[in-house]
Structure 1
Amino acid sequence: MEDQVNGKTSEKYLNTTNIITEDCQRVDSYGFERSENVAHDAHDALMSEYLVVLKRRSTKWSKLLDGKAKVEKNQKVKRYVRKGVPNEHRTVIWMAASGAQQQLEENPGYYHSLLQTQSDTNLKEIIQADLHRTFPDNIQFRSSSDQCLQKALYNVLLAYGNHNKDVGYCQGMNFIAGYLLIITKDEEKSFWLLDTLLRRILPDYYTPAMLGLKADQEVLGELVKAKVPAVWQAMARHDVMWTLVVSRWFICLYIDILPVETVLRIWDCLFYEGSKILFRVALTLIRHLQPQILQAQSLPEICQCFKQITQGRFVEDCHTFMEKIFMEPGSLSMAVITKLRETCRERILAESGSHS
């Protein structure tokens, strides 16, 4: 669900990017152009309903934070995060909940020192090549924009490449860093949030072997086998590899897969609760997709099902969708995921060893 900058949207409650354009109907409040495929009347009606929710959540969050820049982790805050963080508080909550704020405070000046470091020429070139491919549908990432975020994006990615030479730069990181900049409007905070994601929340997703990403795709398969067995059987019958249909879900953290407002609600929980949220979202999408998958007669038809599930009211109504991800998949503990990850990693390493 994308917040629209139009007559129905209250900037008081949507303190987002305050983008001013000649045609406000054309661009949402994050700078993304409205898709021509979206039924705008239905979408705006959905948004007007959601604004009531945002107003209520904003009031509650303001009372909870009471002007503070930090927040303790407890059941009340967890409940608040699951119900959505208003955009004006997102940077504070993401930084505090993820540990990025602590890293920033313990390493004063570190980010800026990374930008002064002698960088690998190849690193610079591959980052530069990806800049124009990053959100071409967002006016903030166009060189013609008054406040173009391309330079900030380049700096964050270059600093990270200097900071973590084992990862350097991997395609997909540009979209994640770009989303962080859209919300924080701050290079240093975006850098530390990116570091927290890649180092703590999603380890080995962006390393050359991508072992973490490959393992998590297999973990999802095991979870589907246990929780949505009919889908698992259909996938096995048509010999569909999970990496074929869900790798972009995980590596881009649902960016360009789900509507922007839904992605940000997912990220609220991702920074607070960790990577198990990615599995809850995937399982909810797959459960919703089950009838179409079971009717599919071939691998291409199944792939088409996975493309269609990420569109429409089911995912645009982000508030209802987020309620579903915590109900429909049932119990999903980090302990279970950790155990499955160990098993899947061992299997992948064994298979790669036998093929070498």
Structure 2
Amino acid sequence: MRPYLWPRFAGATKKRLAAGYSYEEVLRQSAQDKPSIGVQIERSLSRTLPNNICFWKKNGPGIDALRRVLKAVAFIYPDLGFCEGMGVIVAVLLLFCSEETTFWMMTALIEDILPPNYYSQTLLGVQADERATRHLMKSHVPDLNKILDELDVEVSLVTVNWLLTLFASVFPTRTLIRVWDFIFYTGSVSIFRVIISIMKMKEDEIVELGKSTMSSADLFNAISQLPQSVTEVDKLVEYMTSFEFTITEHLINELRKKHQAILMADQGMIVNTTTDTNLPKQKIHRRKLARSKSIIKQIFHSKDGDNDPKLKNVRQTEILVDLKDSVLQICRYFISCDEKMEMNISTKADYSPESHAHDIDNFLAGRREGHKRARALLDFARQDEDELGFRKNDIITIICEKDEHCWVGEVNGLRGWFPAKFVEVVDERGKNYTIYGDEAVSPEITEYIRGNNIFTF
């Protein structure tokens, strides 16, 4: 019955019927998607469910379906792309549902059941849910929470995996499908009821273990093995239902808003944590994909909806949110490349008029100074004393470029002439050049600049 009931409980059936395209059409168009996503998916296939006969080999009976569904999901949600946590969920769904039903189940999970930023590149939704879990632990399993704090056990290393995979990687199948019954029917609030329930069931044992051994490693292992220790599924369900009035959907929504705001403030994404206006967009948008229109529809189709001022305002706001997120990802990329840049990069937005005027002055000064440096396109060995030797990708300060064929430059304290065609002038108007932002030297920057922003427009 589950292959029939799950998509109806989760809203997947309704989504399939309301969509303007079929799963087969998504598959055809996803074949043209950027190859980097395909590479990530291929790497994860064999380790998704390694203990299941359908997925433990690259030519296993379930691998092809798993690959197709993951590519289709990554294609239809370009803001998300691919996250390994999705793979385990998709693999388990394929054990019970058809390939098409699994795809629409994933759309229901991503759009309706889970927060919209759950599988984003920053995993902001997962991080917020992990913090919400710790909040609930303080009130519902206080003794366990206290011993974990005393022994400095980082429980988030365990719970994040539970959240990302919806327990698919930790629960035995018999237990998992009962847990998923609740998640698909009542929503993501059941995820927190499950976590608190399995902790409550074993709280006394784990606390006693912590007091007797005083070993953080033993305590960590005990927490990690909690899902496997659940042998009585009906007892787990009883515990879950006992939390229906204390762990409510309203409480979870408030905790998510609070911790998302704190996380975003820590990352410089917002300044004021007391309002909801700066929180990430609360809806994940699919890629626009529709069936071809008939001649009649093409003639009589009205575009009045496209000119709705409210829809335009919503779209403009979403574009700004996407751009802001892209800028933050680019900042984090440069910081990860060179720690020295962290001193010069601020991820906190400054909207003051003084800052704006300063940026304009910097840009105009750069325009007046013109091009002053160039990047070496290939190695040039120094033969004479007046020549300047360099290696590919070296940054050369241009001293003189009066001769169109031979320029004078300086690198590493040495000065001399070099063939002008061996270098490429760097456009660094208003900003300092770095190789980490040069696509020719660091191709990974292309994905941050073009890959993210291309979907915004």
- Same fold by TM-score, threshold 0.5 exceeded? yes
Change (3 A) 1:120 1:303: same
Matches within 5 A, 1:305-324: 305-312=222-229, 315-324=230-239
Secondary structure class of the residue paired with 1:139:
coil
Give the deviation of 1:260 after TM superposition.
Answer: 0.7
2:196 corresponds in structure 1 to 283
2:263 corresponds in structure 1 to 348
CA contact (8 A) 2:155 2:220 kept: no
Give the deviation of 1:119 after TM superposition.
Answer: 1.2
Q: Deviations over 1:6-25 (max 9, x none)?
A: xxxxxxxxxxxxxxxxxxxx
Change (3 A) 1:242 1:199: farther
CA contact (8 A) 1:259 1:316 kept: no
**Higher mean C-alpha displacement, 127-136 vs 163-172:** 127-136
Bigger radius of gyration: 2
Once residues 266 and 57 of structure 2 are traced to their aligned partners in structure 1, the CA distance between those partners, rounded to angstroms, is: 46
Higher relative contact order (CA 8 A, sep 6+): 1
Give the deviation of 1:347 after TM superposition.
Answer: 1.6
Matched, 1:301 2:206: no
Aligned length: 264
Matched, 1:110 2:35: no
Matches within 5 A, 1:124-135: 124-135=38-49
CA contact (8 A) 2:198 2:236 kept: no
CA contact (8 A) 2:70 2:82 kept: yes
2:158 corresponds in structure 1 to 245
Q: CA RMSD in A?
A: 2.1
Change (3 A) 1:350 1:183: same
2:149 corresponds in structure 1 to 236
Matched, 1:159 2:72: yes
Give the deviation of 1:255 after TM superposition.
Answer: 1.4
1:193 corresponds in structure 2 to 105
Where do 5+ consecutive residues of structure 2 fail to align? 272-345, 348-457
AA at the equivalent of 2:106: L
The match for 2:128 among 199, 215, 220 is 215
AA at the equivalent of 2:192: F
Matched, 1:338 2:253: yes
Secondary structure class of the residue paired with 2:197:
helix
Give the deviation of 1:228 after TM superposition.
Answer: 1.7
Q: Deviations over 1:122-163 (max 9, x none)?
A: 111111111111212212225587x80111111100011110
The match for 1:174 among 87, 97, 109 is 87
The match for 1:140 among 38, 42, 54 is 54
2:140 corresponds in structure 1 to 227
Change (3 A) 1:287 1:112: same
Secondary structure class of the residue paired with 2:181:
helix
- Report percent identity of matched pairs: 28
AA at the equivalent of 1:123: I
Q: Deviations over 1:183-211 (max 9, x none)?
A: 11x11110010111122211222111111
Once residues 292 and 277 of structure 1 are traced to their aligned partners in structure 2, the CA distance between those partners, rounded to angstroms, is: 24
Once residues 330 and 124 of structure 1 are traced to their aligned partners in structure 2, the CA distance between those partners, rounded to angstroms, is: 44
1:11 corresponds in structure 2 to none
Secondary structure class of the residue paired with 2:224:
helix
Once residues 136 and 107 of structure 1 are traced to their aligned partners in structure 2, the CA distance between those partners, rounded to angstroms, is: 34
Once residues 261 and 243 of structure 2 are traced to their aligned partners in structure 1, the CA distance between those partners, rounded to angstroms, is: 29
Change (3 A) 1:136 1:245: closer
AA at the equivalent of 2:187: G
Where do 5+ consecutive residues of structure 1 fail to align? 1-88
Give the deviation of 1:330 after TM superposition.
Answer: 5.8
CA contact (8 A) 1:217 1:243 kept: yes
Once residues 305 and 298 of structure 1 are traced to their aligned partners in structure 2, the CA distance between those partners, rounded to angstroms, is: 11
Q: Deviations over 1:298-320 (max 9, x none)?
A: 432221111232234xx122233
1:84 corresponds in structure 2 to none
Give the deviation of 1:328 after TM superposition.
Answer: 5.9
Once residues 293 and 329 of structure 1 are traced to their aligned partners in structure 2, the CA distance between those partners, rounded to angstroms, is: 24
Matched, 1:256 2:256: no
Once residues 226 and 54 of structure 2 are traced to their aligned partners in structure 1, the CA distance between those partners, rounded to angstroms, is: 28
Secondary structure class of the residue paired with 1:311:
helix
AA at the equivalent of 1:337: I
AA at the equivalent of 1:311: Q
Secondary structure class of the residue paired with 1:174:
helix
Q: Deviations over 1:252-282 (max 9, x none)?
A: 1111311111111111110110011111110
Q: Deviations over 1:27-61 (max 9, x none)?
A: xxxxxxxxxxxxxxxxxxxxxxxxxxxxxxxxxxx
Once residues 323 and 156 of structure 1 are traced to their aligned partners in structure 2, the CA distance between those partners, rounded to angstroms, is: 35
Secondary structure class of the residue paired with 2:152:
coil
AA at the equivalent of 1:338: N
Change (3 A) 1:176 1:228: same
Secondary structure class of the residue paired with 2:84:
coil
Secondary structure class of the residue paired with 2:262:
helix
**Higher mean C-alpha displacement, 325-334 vs 245-254:** 325-334
Once residues 332 and 116 of structure 1 are traced to their aligned partners in structure 2, the CA distance between those partners, rounded to angstroms, is: 43
AA at the equivalent of 1:236: D
